[in-house]
A and B are shown apart, each in its own frame.
Chain A
Amino acid sequence: MISEITINNFKSIVDLTLPLSNINVFIGENGCGKSNILEAVAFLSLIGSDISNEQLELKGVRTAKSSLIFNSFKNTKTQKSVAFNVKGFNREINYKISDQSENSVSPKWQALRNIVKAPFLLNVTTGRQKKDIWTDYPENSDIQGFIEKNGDLVDIHDSIDFNEKVKLIFNLISRTIIEEYLEKYLIYSPETLNLRGYQTESKKEPLGIYGENLDVLISSLSKDEFETLKSKSQMISWLEDLFVDSGDLLKMKGYKLGRSHSKLYFADKHMKKNNNVFSSENANEGILFFLFYFTLFLSKQTPNFFAIDDIEKSQNPKLCRTLIKTICEIAIENNKQALITTHHPAVLDGLNLNDDRQRLFVVKRNDEGHTVIERIKVKPTVNGESLKLSEMWMRGYLGAIPTNF
């Protein structure tokens, strides 16, 4: 899991450190920079491959020429590179990404990486015993000195300069773990028409960023995952059953008169048994969003690290709260990590801030216009009689509301 990302010089972000855990919820007034945070991480996620406008759009990023990617605040000199520091998996890496195109509409991004810290496996012989020792590899450390201090023999010998070889190994290992984890990161922003199967803008597999292919992903869930999905869906009061009509046979029987590609069907417990099935064309959008989020967090095929923009879409406040509570449980169980933005107070009531794996951040612009964040922590002494977080937000106790009252 990524434990911390520091972002420098990206859109409204000058210098921002995100201390992350499983569920990370961001609130703030419109235009404060919430989406910029999600997009900065998407930008970073392409570090191991091709950073291009096309790839950024596929990840859900609003693309722009590089002069609009870098900070452009009054009275400050523009720096022409975006920088990141990433901590996670017991590693720390610095990245610097510059545009080689001199501000064309199609930037040519070039990335440099610098390993700050990585675990280092030494195969050491002490006396007659051979053993592996894990240690940290800080840059510029005295590796030879460490080896001499800790053992008689290190099992790395050839003509290449020893320190150079060790650096090469660390670069390879660290890039693989952190960058593989990051590269699948997407910004999901489901839309009703896409969830209903009418639109297929995103081709991302297995789940499109706007909700495409939800039916396909549900049909490919394992038996346990599908049972969990059905059991969690019981909180939808009218739902009796849900299923995927793999052969699309029901379409031929008149159950799908529109042009939807979705093969997802529902049964309503209040309707007559022989006439209670309908397709996602006819389902209310609330359940479609609900299933989208649950499946995203449940499935082993979806990314382990992703973002959701405006999670509250089409959710009743009570359902919103339950949704967040449930996805927190699933995320922790399945080791998923998500950045979530919302404008809906009820989302906050689904969080348990006493659990360090569920985090709430207020995003705001400071007097200079820079995006800054503040993590909200509750005092451990607070008893159950305190205000709900949603009410605290609405009363202005958390910030994250327009101040031009």
Chain B
Amino acid sequence: MKAGIIAEGKSDMAVITNILKGKLGIDKSDIAYLVPELEKDETDLAIMRPEQFSSWSIVKAKCEAGNVVRDFMDIIDDGRFLVIHIDSAERNDYGVENLTKNTIDDLILIRNTVKSKIEEWLGENRRERIAYAIAVEETDAWVMTKYAQNRDDTGMLNNPKERLASKIIQTESPKAQKQLRNLDFFDRYGHYSYEFRKNRNLSVFIENNNSLKQFCDELETLRS
């Protein structure tokens, strides 16, 4: 095991998986997906609300509980690290308010403020070997970098999910679109972000999204 991922959803995990491959060469078999399904039995899962499976609230809960961070990182001796993902789109809901998004500096400020919020949740469970996958606004904005025509930061997009869906319609054949719709979110977003598995692609894409660049820079410091 090399890395664990705490993320809002499966689509985010898929994108991060491809980034880990492209940036650090980490194989999917070396990644632990720290999802609630693995910690609960079917009896518990049956009474859980949908938002308890994936959303920023589950990321917050896992950070605050601390046991995932502690047990995953502190027991096994293999130089593993943890990726914590959250989208900034719902930042008002988790207490990061009044931040506009008009300039690159605004995007950097949002990312840094959200990171501070996660560190606040982690408290004493904060570790050096944690990389923060904070997507401004959503991970879809990271995927949108592969379609970027100019140097604009895709973090400026207000509705990256819809923009990405529209790009897929433009670029994929009807048959491919149908096949993609039949995939689960992990495989679908794994396909959307497949180009991230090459470092040379990533090094181009990060120029169009500062939050993606900062995440990749943090990963670089964890290279063992």
- The answer to whether the Cβ of B27 comes within 8 Å of any Cβ in the partner chain is yes
Assess A386 versus B29: contact at CB under 8 Å? Given A374-B1, A405-B35: no
Q: Which residues of B contact A372 (CB under 8 A)?
A: 27, 29
Contact segment of A69-77, A112-120, A376-384: A376-384
- The answer to whether the Cβ of B72 comes within 8 Å of any Cβ in the partner chain is yes
Complex CA–CA separation, A238 to B119 (angstroms): 54
- The answer to whether the Cβ of A270 comes within 8 Å of any Cβ in the partner chain is no
Which one of B4, B39, B72, B75 contacts A378 once the chains associate, using CB atoms below 8 Å? B75
Q: Which residues of B contact A395 (CB under 8 A)?
A: 34, 38-39, 71
The answer on a CB contact under 8 Å between B28 and A397 is: no
- The answer to whether the Cβ of A399 comes within 8 Å of any Cβ in the partner chain is yes
- The answer to whether the Cβ of A87 comes within 8 Å of any Cβ in the partner chain is no
- The answer to whether the Cβ of A394 comes within 8 Å of any Cβ in the partner chain is yes
In terms of DSSP, what is the predominant structure of the interface of chain A? loop
The answer on a CB contact under 8 Å between B71 and A386 is: yes
**Number of B residues whose C-beta is below 8 Å from A?**
25
Q: Which residues of A contact B21 (CB under 8 A)?
A: 367
- The answer to whether the Cβ of B152 comes within 8 Å of any Cβ in the partner chain is no
The answer on a CB contact under 8 Å between A399 and B33 is: no
How many whole Å from B123's CB to the nearest CB in chain A? 18
- Chain A, 330-368, contact with B by CB distance < 8 Å: what is the 0/1 string? 000000000000000000000000000000001011110
Q: Which residues of B contact A377 (CB under 8 A)?
A: 76-78
**Number of A residues whose C-beta is below 8 Å from B?**
27
- The answer to whether the Cβ of B165 comes within 8 Å of any Cβ in the partner chain is no
How many whole Å from B89's CB to the nearest CB in chain A? 24
- The answer to whether the Cβ of A221 comes within 8 Å of any Cβ in the partner chain is no
- The answer to whether the Cβ of B90 comes within 8 Å of any Cβ in the partner chain is no
Complex CA–CA separation, A374 to B1 (angstroms): 8
The answer on a CB contact under 8 Å between B75 and A392 is: yes
A-B contact sample (11 more), CB < 8 A, given A366-B29, A374-B1, A396-B35: A364-B29, A365-B29, A367-B21, A374-B78, A379-B74, A379-B76, A380-B77, A386-B74, A395-B71, A396-B33, A405-B33
In the assembled complex, 23 residue pairs joining A and B whose CB atoms fall closer than 8 Å, in A order, are A365-B29, A366-B28, A366-B29, A367-B28, A374-B78, A376-B78, A377-B77, A379-B74, A379-B75, A379-B77, A380-B77, A387-B67, A395-B38, A396-B34, A397-B1, A397-B72, A398-B32, A399-B32, A401-B38, A404-B186, A405-B10, A405-B35, A405-B186
- Chain B, 45-73, contact with A by CB distance < 8 Å: what is the 0/1 string? 00000000000000000000001000110
What 8 A-B pairs have minimum CB-CB distances, sorted nearest first? Answer: A364-B29, A379-B77, A377-B77, A396-B38, A387-B71, A366-B27, A396-B32, A386-B75
Complex CA–CA separation, A191 to B186 (angstroms): 40
The answer on a CB contact under 8 Å between A392 and B71 is: yes
Complex CA–CA separation, A395 to B74 (angstroms): 15
Q: Which residues of B contact A362 (CB under 8 A)?
A: 1
Assess A405 versus B37: contact at CB under 8 Å? Given A362-B1, A399-B32: yes
Q: Which residues of B contact A394 (CB under 8 A)?
A: 38
- The answer to whether the Cβ of B106 comes within 8 Å of any Cβ in the partner chain is no
Q: Which residues of B contact A381 (CB under 8 A)?
A: 74
Q: Which residues of A contact B71 (CB under 8 A)?
A: 386-387, 392, 395, 397
Q: B1-56: which have CB < 8 Å to A?
A: 1, 4, 10, 21, 27-35, 37-39
- The answer to whether the Cβ of A403 comes within 8 Å of any Cβ in the partner chain is yes
Complex CA–CA separation, A57 to B169 (angstroms): 55
Complex CA–CA separation, A399 to B39 (angstroms): 14
